[in-house]
């Protein structure tokens, strides 16, 4: 199991244990993490699983793919730390990952 910390925009933290191979979005939904809506169920078509990756984790998480990058272009508040949780699979290398959820999710 891998530990993932979700921080809300107001500073509350939710720490969950996640099996490898599961997406960040799926893990968040399965653990009732506030701020992750996942309206499309992980299809990379709504952007309601938008998260910000902490500085120290950017390299390990890696950049978004082409489809994800195009979705992020239309997401209010996206930046160089933005990823869609449905597109990030949990690996052992991500143990201790820290993510922040936006103040509000804005679907496309």
| Position 64 in a domain | yes
DSSP string covering 26-94: HHHHHTT-TT---TTSSSSSS-TTEEEE-GGGHHHH----HHHHHHHTTSTT--TTEEEGGG-B--GGG
Predicted confidence (pLDDT) at residue 95 exceeds the cutoff of 80: yes
Residues 88-103: what's their mean pLDDT?
Answer: 96
Predicted confidence (pLDDT) at residue 86 exceeds the cutoff of 80: yes
| Position 61 in a domain | yes
Residue 24 host element (H or E) = helix 24-30
Predicted confidence (pLDDT) at residue 108 exceeds the cutoff of 60: no
**pTM given for the model:** 0.92
13-41 pLDDT, tens digit each: 999 999 999 999 999 999 999 989 888 87
pLDDT of residue 40: 81
pLDDT of residue 46: 85
Number of domains in the chain: 1
Q: What percent of the chain has pLDDT over 90?
A: 75
| Position 85 in a domain | yes
CATH number reported for the structural domain that contains residue 32 in this entry:
3.10.20.30
Domain span including residue 17: 2-100
Task: List the 2-7 sheet strands across, edge first.
Answer: 13-18, 2-7, 97-100, 50-53, 82-84
| Position 107 in a domain | no
């Amino acid at each position: 199991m891998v530990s993932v910390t979700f921080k809300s925009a107001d500073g509350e933290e939710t720490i969950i244990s996640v099996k490898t191979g599961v997406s960040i979005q799926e893990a968040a939904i399965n653990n009732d993490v506030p701020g992750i809506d996942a309206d499309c169920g992980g299809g990379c078509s709504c952007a309601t699983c938008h998260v910000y990756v902490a500085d120290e984790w950017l390299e390990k998480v890696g950049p978004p793919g082409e489809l994800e990058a195009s979705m992020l272009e239309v997401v209010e508040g996206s930046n160089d730390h933005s990823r869609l949780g449905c597109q990030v699979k949990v690996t052992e290398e991500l143990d201790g990952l820290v993510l922040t959820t936006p103040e509000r999710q804005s679907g496309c």
